[in-house]
Amino acid sequence: MTTVTDPPKASFQLSQLIYDTRYRSYTFQFIALMLLIALMAYLGANLVQNLADQGQNIAFGFLAEPSGYDINQRPIEYDSQSSHLRASIVGVLNTLIVAFLGCLTATILGVIAGVLRLSPNWLVRKLMAAYVEAFRNVPVLIWILIIFTIMTAVLPAPSAFRGENPDSSMLFDAFAFTNRGVYTPSPIWGAGSMVVVITFLASIAGAIYYRRYATKLLYDTGKLLPMGWPSLLILFVPSVLVYFVMGQPISLEYPELKGFNFGGGLHIRGSLIALWFALAIYTGAFIAENVRAGILAVSKGQTEAAASLGLRPNRIMNLVILPQALRVIIPPLISQYLNLTKNSSLAIAVGYMDARGTLGGITINQTGRELEGMLLLGGFYLLVSLGISGAMNIYNSAVKLKER
């Protein structure tokens, strides 16, 4: 009787790294990685040697030194005796503030303009087309300067609000629009205010959950639940009840004219408003085209099928068209968010002290540490961009079509 055995396995040979297709790609990738590491090491060593020849070295001790300069827009406590590190943190926060406000506003404007560009109304369609073509074909720096000039030249000075017959009056006795910026009421946080804030955040999560539940129920059973007024009730009623139960812990401080300027309240400088609006309107024009392309990518038969079921146009857009268009809209939308964040570095043109103006500007000029400052500034923009890209990619994975 013969016994059938497996053929002996061939031993691994170094030549397989080149001639065996199972290993060849890994070999070339490893070689490319080693060459890249060697190149980076050479450039790094060359940099260190050049600095040493000039009597310099890479050090970040300057961040602990007093900054010696003021910052007009301060989201946290800061004065001229604070360290360069704290000045950099203030600039970073200012950049994040304008980036967040700009991305949020640009998304709203872009979605509205993108949908209205496909409106059957000729006038609305042409107006949105004019907005898109006008704003996306002019450099954003020009729009920043135009809006800033309008705010400083058209709006009245704070002194115009003085006297028995002032030239200007506050809106609702709470908002003052001046050439120095906008003055609004600011919240005063009392004992128990955190409970109200947590309740409001929980209400936002509850409203989102309810809308997702109503949409899932509609897709699964065809039963249509109202979304508008239940979402508003979930969003505001618990917070209002907790607000009064806790004894109204949150109050408002209103701006008042004191001398030649307003005091109290919240001061939003014209430089921030100009930068925010210009970035939002400019980027919103590009987002509008992304939205229009995503909607046009959805087959017209989807709209006709939904209409044949008796769905209203707004329901068709929210439940049928936009969910399918998101897979086309999201990838280029990520690029627009990244562009807006990086374009915020133009803030120095209107005197808004962002990370570019503090860490990448005055701090470098005062300390002479341009290499360290630019490394930190580049690292900051890299981390922010990677964070935005990562978050949007997660959202993109959540809304993309699920295949079996």
Give residue-wise pLDDT tens across range 275-307: 999 999 999 999 999 999 888 888 888 888 888
Q: What mean pLDDT comes out for the span 120-137?
A: 90
Give residue-wise pLDDT tens across range 219-246: 788 777 888 888 888 888 888 898 888 8
Nearest to 323 by CA among 403, 401, 261: 401
Could you tell me which CATH class the domain 60-158+269-404 is placed in? mainly alpha
What's the CA angle centered on 250, arms 247 and 251, to 5 degrees? Answer: 110
Give residue-wise pLDDT tens across range 242-283: 888 888 888 888 888 777 778 777 888 888 999 999 999 999
Helix, strand, coil percent content, the chain, rounded in steps of 5: 70, 5, 25
Joined together, the tokens standing for residue 326 give 């998101």
- Cα–Cα distance, 328 to 298 (Å, whole number): 9
- The reported pLDDT for the residue numbered 383 is 92
Tokens 């239940």 belong to residue: 230
- Cα–Cα distance, 295 to 314 (Å, whole number): 14
Q: Residue 179 — very low, low, confident or very high, per pLDDT cuts 50/70/90?
A: confident
Nearest to 344 by CA among 101, 134, 146: 101
- Cα–Cα distance, 213 to 226 (Å, whole number): 11
- The reported pLDDT for the residue numbered 403 is 59
Residues in the chain: 404
Q: What's the pTM value of the predicted model, to 2 decimals? A: 0.82
102 vs 402, which has greater pLDDT?
102
- Cα–Cα distance, 210 to 222 (Å, whole number): 16
Give yes or no for residue 4 having a pLDDT over 60.
no
Q: What mean pLDDT comes out for the span 29-33?
A: 89
Give yes or no for residue 128 having a pLDDT over 70.
yes
- The reported pLDDT for the residue numbered 278 is 92
Collect all residues with Cβ–Cβ distance below 8 Å to 250 and sequence separation of at least 6: 187, 188, 189, 190, 193, 196, 243
Q: Is residue 176 classed as helix, strand or coil in its secondary structure? A: strand
Please count the other Cβ atoms lying within 10 Å of the Cβ belonging to residue 303: 17
- The reported pLDDT for the residue numbered 370 is 82
Nearest to 338 by CA among 387, 373, 284, 268: 387
* Burial (CB count <10 Å: 0-12, 13-18, 19+), residue 333: buried
Q: Where are the domains of the chain?
A: 60-158+269-404
Q: What mean pLDDT comes out for the span 41-59?
A: 80
Give yes or no for residue 150 having a pLDDT over 70.
yes
